Amino acid sequence: MTEKYDVIVIGGGPGGYVAAIRAAQLGLSTACIDMNTGKDGKAALGGTCLNVGCIPSKALLDSSKHFHHVQHDYAAHGINVADASIDISTMIARKDGVVSKLTGGVAQLFKANKIKQFHGRGRLLANRQVEFTAHASDEKISLEAKNIILAAGSVPISIPNVEYDKKYIIDNEGALDLTEVPPRLGVIGAGVIGLELGSVWQRLGSEVTLLEALPTFLPTADQDVSKQAERLFKKQGLDIRLGTLVKSASVVDDEVRVTLEDKNGESQINFDRLLVAVGRKPYTQGLLADDSGVELNERGQINVNDQSQTSVPGVWAVGDCVRGPMLAHKASEEGIAVAELIAGKAAHIHFDTVPWVIYTDPEIAWVGKTEQQLKEEGVSYRSGSFPFAATGRGLAMGDAAGMVKMLADEDTDEILGVHIIGPSASELIAECVVTMEFHGASEDLARIVHAHPTLSEAVHEAALHVDGRAIHRGN
């Protein structure tokens, strides 16, 4: 017998579980299929982000930051702590507790909204039929819905001649569960994941080397920000090697032997652990039957239109398995929009104002266009910037590295992009996103009163500087 629903969501990550909750709120009978299993062997909603991505990495970043501050910064405040140490098992247990609390919270939301949860794999067949295979068994159930939302997420990319063994050569999940601080940690990839997890273990005592094949650091960020970030991270002790191609890696005598190639030719370097963090790819393995009718593009992404509709009527797709940035908040907003479209409401996502964040210390965040993009597109613009070192709050906190940079249209003054490196950049970017969403101008932010003393004054002064009238810096 086939179970029937208004909506079936395949995938319980930030796109899937949010879509399911919103659909249920709108009165649609909803089911969600998710295969993720927690350390306790039970279903764990929340996808990669909540279980082995965004949330656990932030927990470890926070723990490592506290340890670093105790060792290097508290003395300036008159706080003296001798022989500080860290218990890695306690740190990991705390991280697991944060994850467990949040996954349990999602499960409670499912119960409260009367969403049927299926723990296992979902496979889309023709005519909006779904074959469900239960976790740890061969039991199959036939499901059917008027609308299907595919939210299968993504998986780490592997590279040739570097095979994960989950002990010495690891992915991001393995880097979140190390039982001790590796004396030498190699990281392939100096992107978001590599920088964040590399920062964690460097603060805890690892000698961290980032091997990046690209010749430039953080090329998607604004160049002024990426240059300042590279300088700050190197000063912290991260060994960042650009233009370095990893050709192979193998485990020999309990260490990882890496063969790499750079401008000086081929060489070898040894590590105690090697983290592969070269990006992620859509996870569609086993998701689509041959007769499902859903099309994939050359990058393995599910083809969708601007409203997240696939080539099959009634079948939608959101999140990491479709076009656009692989960001949890982007997936969630897509999921909400699709649920509302299914319910007959108007909905859309403005992809031009999706913020990006790298949770290093200092944090990096941006929204909109970079200066190099505006130059390439031939857009006339004005630029303003302001350093956190000139803010009273930043100096009082002892955390004043970085700056805010704002780009505005030369004719209309509409804000085209904002780029922040500094304390609480992930939070400060929000007012810039809101301003851009309403097509606001730098003049709008310049004339809004910002509390003193706050870090947000750097945003205010950067807006003033666009017009050459910043108060606390030369113009």
Which of 119, 452, 465, 472 is the catalytic position? 452
Centre a 10 Å sphere on the Cβ of residue 253 and count the other Cβ atoms it contains: 6
Residue 1: pLDDT above 80? no
N- to C-terminal Cα separation, the chain: 73
Q: Which two tokens stand for residue 57?
A: 């990495």
Look-up of token digits 């700056």: 403
φ/ψ (deg, to 5) at 276: -95, 115
Cα Rg of the chain (Å, integer) = 24
- The CA distance from 372 to 298, in Å, is 27
pLDDT on residue 225:
98
Q: What residues have CB less than 8 Å from 101, skipping those under 6 apart?
A: none
Mean pLDDT of the chain: 97
Q: Is 72 a catalytic residue?
A: no
Cα 394 off chain centre by:
26
Cis peptide before 453 (omega within 30 of 0): yes
User: In this predicted model, what pLDDT tens digit does every residue of 4-26 receive, in sequence order?
Assistant: 999 999 999 999 999 999 999 99
CB distance 284 to 271 below 8 Å: no
Supply the pTM of this predicted model. 0.96
All structural domains of the chain: 3-156+281-349 (3.50.50.60), 169-278 (3.50.50.60), 355-466 (3.30.390.30)
User: In this predicted model, what pLDDT tens digit does every residue of 130-185 receive, in sequence order?
Assistant: 999 999 888 899 999 999 999 999 999 999 999 999 999 999 999 999 999 999 99
Residue 307: pLDDT above 80? yes
CA angle 108, 111, 115 (to 5 degrees): 125
Q: E-strand spans in 236-372?
A: 239-241, 245-252, 255-262, 265-271, 273-276, 280-282, 315-317, 356-358, 363-368
